């Protein structure tokens, strides 16, 4: 299987490193030198309890295989004393320049090479960027999966589509109940996030304890399941934490992320405003808390509830089955039944809050939804913020819905969404409670990792103990030092349809070229002995120009090609590659001169 | 010349209108019916002065040809008593689904049809979305251009590239000096915006006075040129304004846009922070005020100034020539001279604040700038906010610059940018001063026009006097009524290289298809009499899969095609189109089954 390495970031990074080295400056990754501040925060003033005696020489290796320098495809491998564990195995959605690619998964080469050492796959929570690549990993090796109940449920659903659910071993874990895997002892710690049943992991090893937060925030008044388990985190901090790997998604945002209760209040106000209208509300299918609170408000208001969108229907069914969601008898109706009720007696909860072109909401906006017609009687709430890159798609849907006469609530001022990730003050709390010796910001683009590193430095962690690693780094940690070993294979493998890794940079470059200027094909049948053209040349173009409107251009092209072929015959050029090159160059320069465009030009010669 | 109509918006709109009509509801465009509020603002309480006697029956037509339901390609035609004038002639940058398109301009059919009536082209200011399509219009008809000095300078630069500058008549206008064009008398009114020399127009006609704001904001403490001329606007309000066409860009933002002075203060603080470093600052080349204030700070700080990026170099040269920019002798150096000075003695002002891939800043981030190497000695300020759709490109540049070790200021919290457009409170001030009978929100996506309409309604303008028009609308206004006439031709013409309008929906659909799954070409030479294959079939693919990694797939495809061709011979199918269809279908279903992809399949048969 061909695997294409992540290109842009890595190459930029090596250039950066090279540039830094050539100027004698420290390599960017090992934290920049900043003047020590005179202020010493309490964090560093408190005396540490004596460390548990450890085998001093034992190091632990951390290999991030995804999630660094990007938002998504989180995956980290830990190795100590010859044992390995993996935390998370997510996917990332393709950038706009990855034409036609459906999703991107980590490169599993390193994991496959070490499959005999791996004791298990631990999952922090059930979002796609943490579980989405599991089926592709399990196609390569068998592994037991450790996750909380909801997380396991979501993974099982996913594996069923791949026919892998039956043969995979699941181990359901519970916060505070330790798991032993090889030389590792792992304690799941409850954290708040935008999906229930999320955990951080305290990973104890002969080298020391590492805390990986997964995605988290700190919600003092969550709708269910309690606050992030601050005491356990503090306990580990007291005992001594070798390293903290913490979520950097919101590291650019000052302050605290608001509580989910705020959304409850915001949505309640809007329900009051929508009194005589049908309510349609779009949100993330995995945000079970949010969906539950919408259902509660609907029940209060005497409205029936329907779900639209495949993932909304599936996720809510599973959440009900596992007891994470409670819908009173007689409340749930199907989308087909919607029109049997007056508008003020229904709420439709739907996918599509990110403007996904095939989602239910998008189809409503373009009048192509099978059961739902949007009109002036609708009150539509988009309970989500656009993820960077999705702004234009969301705007398109909002415009469409407004044009149909619906009232649409989409602005942040209405308090219909809060983030699932910690902002700077929460990140500081996490750092302060766990008091790590070393700090590795994870989950984020480089700018976010960098900001998180600065936040840590502002708390007094020496910059030499802060490391911004990258995918494929081999971070070696011990009580004595942090250093980088020989990097391992890591990268981005593109999935397109059933193909995993069969689309690479050459294919993408061709797709980009074709998308910008189209192509012109030249076909000719030639006599294999004389080189004389027996049929053609025919010119066929796609994605170039309207041929009918550009007859003179295409006639000119035809003559250019004919002349080039004739000249080859006259000059006895018999090497077909040279003939093709000459034809291509002649046509290419003609077309550029006439149109300032450079379509792909494909000469095909058939010998008879 | 083929011209493709704007597709998505228009079709969604007609569906919306159809939906609204079928339910008996009023069509969206004519303002929604809202319950009258009991509160009557002072706006409506003051008695109007008696109107000037007018020829009561005379109507004025407003034909917006661009800028409605979109951000960009602003263009409006006014017609009264058989005379026409045009205000603005801008372009819009293509959406991400307009593969390979360079820019989009208005459809000029209506203007060309009426060229004998048109008295002139009036320009509010020199931004691309107001002047960018002028060269394309002038290729079709001669027109005198009316603009302020800087605006004319910018247009002249543009026309020179097209060889049109010499033969075009320019009339330089000045605020408060009226222009007479046919039955119209137009008064330019000074407004604040992010480019100097911007004006609104008060267009007086036998039907009444219309005020078109152009882009504006109200800056009580501008850096130069004075506050938006509120008194003249108020004077028109007192005399009676038939209609206001006002900028809707920021209609979703509450409050006021901050003054440009705030940026001056923000940048001054950053200059202090950057003491020992080279400063690189990216901003819009047209924001002469901003560039001037950076130069002033550089001079204060004893730094030399260099410009990078073609539009930055050109615009600042012109602004100096016309007296809009003042650079003390000895301050300006060329980019080539940068390295002759220590870092703390230079400021580089560059383009690229929107992450444009070929811009100077982008090349610095990817280490491919010819003269500038970015490193830890650089302090980089991005003095702009990403325009929606550009967030990811800007992030990519920020990541790249940070990786090179530079300090990068890119967040809004540093006060390094303010918008050039009016927020809700300023829009209210404009509405309140001009007191129009009718209101048409312009310049914006549908959601922005809608919000602006709601703002106007909240001031007491009856919703029946508010109209959200669309490109191609024929708005007929008189003292008695507002109504829609037969629409005129309007739409989006795509420019790709030298081609204007030769890329349309078919070409774009092909480019999209090619970009997603690539293509497979089948070529065969066949005997024209028997249909027997003499050479081939050969399969050539581009942008599909790595052929070398997928030999079994391609071998299978080869057999499928051979079998399909054989069967055609056996069954005596002699119609080449039928043969092609059968081959295409056989291969297409094989490939989909094996890969879940649908590349474009192009069978080409050559007869000998």
pLDDT value at residue A397? 94
On the question of pLDDT at A595 being above 80, the answer is yes
Supply the Cα-derived Rg of chain A in whole angstroms.
29
Report the gap between the CA of A20 and the closest CA in chain B (Å).
7
Lowest mean pLDDT among A83-92, B22-31, B304-313, B381-390: B22-31
Give pTM, 2 decimals: 0.84
pLDDT value at residue B12? 42
pLDDT value at residue A161? 86
Q: Is residue A507 part of a domain?
A: no
The confidence band for A57, taking pLDDT boundaries of 50, 70 and 90, is low
Q: Is residue A148 part of a domain?
A: yes
Task: Inform me whether the C-beta atom of residue A408 falls under 8 Å from chain B C-beta atoms.
Answer: yes
Report the gap between the CA of A33 and the closest CA in chain B (Å).
11
| Side-chain half-sphere exposure of A128, counting CA atoms within 13 A | 14
More confident residue, B396 or B30: B396
Is the CB of A545 less than 8 angstroms away from the CB of B499?
A: yes
Q: What is the CATH number of the domain that holds B167?
A: 3.60.15.10
On the question of pLDDT at A302 being above 60, the answer is yes
Quick one: tokens of A190?
Answer: 């409850």
More confident residue, B499 or B214: B214
On the question of pLDDT at A332 being above 70, the answer is yes
Q: What is the arithmetic mean of pLDDT over A455-475?
A: 96
Nearest to B595 among A497, A521, A546 (CB): A497
Q: What is the CATH number of the domain that holds A360?
A: 3.40.50.10710
Q: Are residues A444 and A429 in the same domain?
A: yes
pLDDT value at residue A18? 41
The SS3 of residue B208 is strand
A192 is in an annotated binding site: no
On the question of pLDDT at B250 being above 60, the answer is yes
Chain A environment of B597 (Cβ under 8 Å): 100, 496-499
Task: Inform me whether the C-beta atom of residue B484 falls under 8 Å from chain A C-beta atoms.
Answer: no
Task: Give the integer Cα–Cα distance in Å for A304 and A331.
Answer: 5
pLDDT value at residue A123? 98
Task: Give the integer Cα–Cα distance in Å for B164 and B131.
Answer: 14
Of the listed A247, A378, A452, A517, which one is catalytic?
Answer: A247
On the question of pLDDT at B10 being above 60, the answer is no
pLDDT value at residue B606? 85
Q: Are residues A349 and A364 in the same domain?
A: yes
pLDDT value at residue B347? 96
Chain B environment of A15 (Cβ under 8 Å): 366-367, 404
A418 is in an annotated binding site: yes
Q: Which of B544, B547, B557, B540 is nearest to A603 (CA)?
A: B540
Q: Is residue A34 part of a domain?
A: no
On the question of pLDDT at B52 being above 70, the answer is no
Q: What is the arithmetic mean of pLDDT over B64-88?
A: 97
Q: Which of B119, B115, B116, B241 is nearest to B179 (CA)?
A: B119
The confidence band for A389, taking pLDDT boundaries of 50, 70 and 90, is confident
Of the listed A197, A421, A452, A517, which one is catalytic?
Answer: A421
Task: Give the integer Cα–Cα distance in Å for B291 and B387.
Answer: 19
Chain B environment of A1 (Cβ under 8 Å): 549
Q: Are residues A427 and A376 in the same domain?
A: no
Phi, psi (rounded to 5 degrees) for A573: -75, 115
Q: What is the CATH number of the domain that holds A597?
A: 3.10.20.580
| B235: number of Cβ within 10 Å | 15
Residue ranges making up the domain that contains A341: 260-414
pLDDT value at residue B226? 92
* Residue A287 vs residues A127, A293, A351, B325: alpha-carbon distances, Å: 10, 10, 11, 54
Q: How many domains does chain B have?
A: 3
- Show the DSSP H helices in A207-358 as ranges: 230-239, 260-273, 288-300, 310-321
A513 is in an annotated binding site: no
The confidence band for B46, taking pLDDT boundaries of 50, 70 and 90, is very low
Q: Is residue A575 part of a domain?
A: yes
Q: Is residue A568 part of a domain?
A: yes
Task: Inform me whether the C-beta atom of residue B112 falls under 8 Å from chain A C-beta atoms.
Answer: no
Q: Are residues A535 and A469 in the same domain?
A: no
Q: Are the beta carbons of A73 and A492 closer than 8 angstroms?
A: yes
Q: Are residues A217 and A85 in the same domain?
A: yes
For chain B, the distance separating the N- and C-terminal CA atoms, rounded to the nearest angstrom, is: 36
Q: Of B470, B500, B530, which closes a domain? A: B500
Task: Give the integer Cα–Cα distance in Å for A132 and A142.
Answer: 16
pLDDT in tens, A154-186: 999 889 988 898 889 999 999 999 999 999 999
Helix (H) or strand (E) holding B293, with range, is helix B288-300
Report the gap between the CA of B595 and the closest CA in chain A (Å).
5
Nearest to A399 among B252, B408, B445 (CB): B445
More confident residue, B343 or A13: B343
Which residues neighbour A238 within 8 Å (Cβ) at sequence distance 6 or greater? A49, A435
Which residues neighbour A302 within 8 Å (Cβ) at sequence distance 6 or greater? A345
B215 is in an annotated binding site: yes
Chain A environment of B604 (Cβ under 8 Å): 521, 523, 538, 540, 604
Q: Is residue A598 part of a domain?
A: yes
pLDDT in tens, A485-532: 999 999 999 888 887 887 888 888 889 889 888 999 998 888 877 778
Q: Are the beta carbons of A474 and A63 closer than 8 angstroms?
A: yes
More confident residue, A39 or A409: A409
Chain B environment of A400 (Cβ under 8 Å): 12, 16
Q: Are residues B355 and B207 in the same domain?
A: no
Q: Is residue B5 part of a domain?
A: no
Q: What is the arithmetic mean of pLDDT over A348-363?
A: 91
Q: Are residues B527 and B461 in the same domain?
A: no
The confidence band for A26, taking pLDDT boundaries of 50, 70 and 90, is very low
Task: Inform me whether the C-beta atom of residue A367 falls under 8 Å from chain B C-beta atoms.
Answer: yes
pLDDT value at residue B57? 65
Whole-number percent of chain A with pLDDT over 70: 90
Task: Give the integer Cα–Cα distance in Å for B32 and B14.
Answer: 17
Q: Of A386, A414, A442, which closes a domain? A: A414
pLDDT value at residue A52? 54
Tell me which residues of chain A, numbers 327 to 356, contact chain B at a CB-CB cutoff of 8 Å: none
Task: Give the integer Cα–Cα distance in Å for A478 and A79.
Answer: 12
On the question of pLDDT at B218 being above 90, the answer is yes
Q: What number is the ipTM of this complex?
A: 0.81
pLDDT value at residue B119? 97
What own/partner pairs with CB < 8 Å and gap ≥ 24 does A450-454 have?
A450/B402, A451/A248, A451/A251, A451/A252, A452/A246, A452/A248, A452/A251, A452/A427, A453/A31
Q: Of A397, A414, A431, which closes a domain? A: A414
More confident residue, B530 or B90: B90
Average model confidence (pLDDT) across chain B: 88
- The one-character DSSP state at A450 is H
pLDDT value at residue B51? 53
Q: Are residues A432 and A362 in the same domain?
A: no
Residue A45's Cβ-count burial label (10 Å; 0-12, 13-18, 19+) is: exposed
Is the CB of B96 less than 8 angstroms away from the CB of A96?
A: yes
Nearest to A389 among B391, B510, B595 (CB): B391
More confident residue, A27 or B544: B544
Q: Are the beta carbons of A55 and A77 closer than 8 angstroms?
A: no
On the question of pLDDT at A199 being above 80, the answer is yes
Helix (H) or strand (E) holding B578, with range, is helix B576-595
Q: Is A326 an active-site residue?
A: no
Tell me which residues of chain A, numbers 126 to 185, contact chain B at a CB-CB cutoff of 8 Å: none
- Range with the largest mean pLDDT of A409-418, B262-271, B440-449: B440-449
Q: Are residues B188 and B310 in the same domain?
A: no
Task: Give the integer Cα–Cα distance in Å for A522 and A559.
Answer: 12
Whole-number percent of chain B with pLDDT over 90: 64
Q: What is the arithmetic mean of pLDDT over A115-121?
A: 97
Is the CB of A514 less than 8 angstroms away from the CB of B516?
A: no
Task: Give the integer Cα–Cα distance in Å for B94 and A513.
Answer: 17
Q: Are residues A236 and A319 in the same domain?
A: no
| Side-chain half-sphere exposure of A256, counting CA atoms within 13 A | 10
Which of A100, A358, A364, A580 would you mutate first to test chain B, the one with the most B CBs within 10 A? A100
pLDDT in tens, B456-484: 999 999 999 999 999 999 999 999 899 99
Whole-number percent of chain A with pLDDT over 90: 64
pLDDT in tens, B396-416: 999 999 999 999 998 766 788
Q: E strands along A107-166, which residues?
A: 118-122, 145-147
Q: What is the arithmetic mean of pLDDT over A440-452?
A: 96
Task: Inform me whether the C-beta atom of residue A531 falls under 8 Å from chain B C-beta atoms.
Answer: no
Q: Is residue A16 part of a domain?
A: no
Chain A residue with CA closest to B607: the answer is A535
| B172: number of Cβ within 10 Å | 14
Task: Give the integer Cα–Cα distance in Å for A558 and A536.
Answer: 10
Task: Give the integer Cα–Cα distance in Å for B431 and B441.
Answer: 11
Nearest to A514 among B366, B398, B515 (CB): B515
pLDDT value at residue A606? 84
B298 is in an annotated binding site: no
Chain B residue with CA closest to A366: the answer is B12
A61 is in an annotated binding site: no
Average model confidence (pLDDT) across chain A: 88
Is the CB of A373 less than 8 angstroms away from the CB of B19?
A: yes
Q: Are residues B353 and B467 in the same domain?
A: no
Q: Are residues B111 and B218 in the same domain?
A: yes
Checking DSSP bridges between strand A179-181 and strand A184-190, what pairing results, if any?
antiparallel
Nearest to B498 among A506, A512, A596 (CB): A596
A215 is in an annotated binding site: yes
On the question of pLDDT at B26 being above 50, the answer is no
């Amino acid at each position: 299987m061909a695997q294409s390495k992540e290109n842009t970031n890595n190459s930029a990074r090596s250039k950066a490193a090279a540039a830094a080295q050539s100027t004698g400056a420290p390599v960017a990754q090992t934290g920049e030198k900043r003047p020590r501040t005179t202020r010493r925060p309490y964090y560093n003033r408190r005396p540490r309890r004596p460390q548990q005696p450890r085998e001093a020489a034992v190091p632990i290796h951390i290999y991030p295989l995804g999630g660094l320098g990007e938002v998504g495809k989180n995956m980290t491998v830990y190795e100590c004393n010859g044992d390995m564990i993996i935390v998370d195995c997510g996917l990332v959605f393709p950038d706009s320049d990855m034409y036609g690619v459906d999703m991107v998964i980590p490169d599993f080469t390193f994991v496959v090479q070490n499959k005999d050492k791996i004791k298990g796959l631990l999952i922090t929570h059930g979002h796609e960027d943490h579980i989405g690549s599991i089926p592709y990993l399990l196609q390569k090796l068998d592994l037991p999966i450790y996750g909380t109940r909801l997380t396991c449920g979501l993974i099982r659903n996913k594996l069923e589509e791949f026919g892998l659910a039956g043969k995979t071993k699941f181990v359901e874990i519970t916060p505070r109940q330790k798991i032993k895997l090889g030389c590792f002892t792992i304690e799941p710690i409850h954290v708040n996030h935008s999906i229930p049943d999320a955990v951080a992991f305290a990973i104890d090893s002969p080298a020391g304890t590492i805390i990986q937060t997964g995605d988290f925030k700190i919600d003092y008044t969550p709708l269910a399941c309690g606050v992030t388990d601050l005491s356990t985190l503090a306990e580990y901090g007291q005992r001594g934490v070798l390293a903290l790997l913490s979520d950097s998604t919101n590291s650019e945002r000052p302050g605290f992320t608001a509580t989910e209760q705020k959304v409850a209040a915001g949505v309640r106000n809007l329900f009051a405003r929508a009194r005589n209208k049908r309510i349609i509300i779009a949100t993330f299918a995995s945000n079970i808390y949010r969906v539950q609170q919408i259902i509660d408000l609907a029940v209060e208001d005497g409205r029936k509830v329907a779900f639209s969108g495949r993932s909304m229907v599936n996720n809510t069914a599973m959440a009900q089955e596992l007891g994470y969601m409670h819908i009173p008898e007689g409340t749930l109706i199907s989308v087909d039944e919607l029109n049997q009720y007056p508008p003020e007696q229904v709420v439709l909860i739907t996918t599509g809050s990110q403007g996904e072109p095939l989602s239910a909401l998008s189809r409503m906006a373009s009048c192509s939804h099978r059961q739902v017609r949007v009109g002036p009687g609708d009150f539509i709430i988009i309970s989500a913020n656009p993820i960077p890159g999705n702004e234009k798609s969301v705007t398109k849907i909002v415009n469409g819905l407004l044009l149909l006469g619906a009232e649409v609530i989409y602005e942040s001022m209405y308090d219909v969404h809060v983030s699932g990730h910690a902002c700077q003050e929460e990140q500081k709390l996490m750092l302060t409670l766990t008091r790590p010796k070393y700090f590795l910001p994870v989950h984020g683009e480089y700018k976010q990792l960098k900001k998180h590193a600065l936040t840590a430095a502002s708390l007094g962690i020496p910059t030499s103990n802060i490391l911004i690693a990258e995918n494929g780094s081999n971070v070696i940690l011990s009580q004595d030092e942090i250093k980088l070993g020989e990097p391992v294979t890591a990268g981005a493998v593109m999935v397109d349809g059933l193909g995993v890794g069969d689309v690479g940079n050459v294919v993408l470059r061709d797709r980009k070229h074709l998308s910008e200027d189209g192509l012109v094909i030249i076909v000719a049948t030639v006599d294999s002995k004389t080189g004389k053209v027996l049929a053609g040349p025919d010119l066929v173009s796609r994605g170039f120009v309207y041929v009918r409107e550009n007859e003179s251009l295409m006639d000119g092209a035809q003559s250019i090609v004919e002349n080039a072929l004739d000249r080859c015959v006259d000059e006895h050029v018999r090497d077909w590659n040279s003939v093709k090159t000459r034809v291509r160059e002649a046509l290419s320069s003609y077309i550029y001169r006439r149109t300032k465009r450079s379509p792909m030009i494909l000469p095909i010669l058939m010998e008879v």
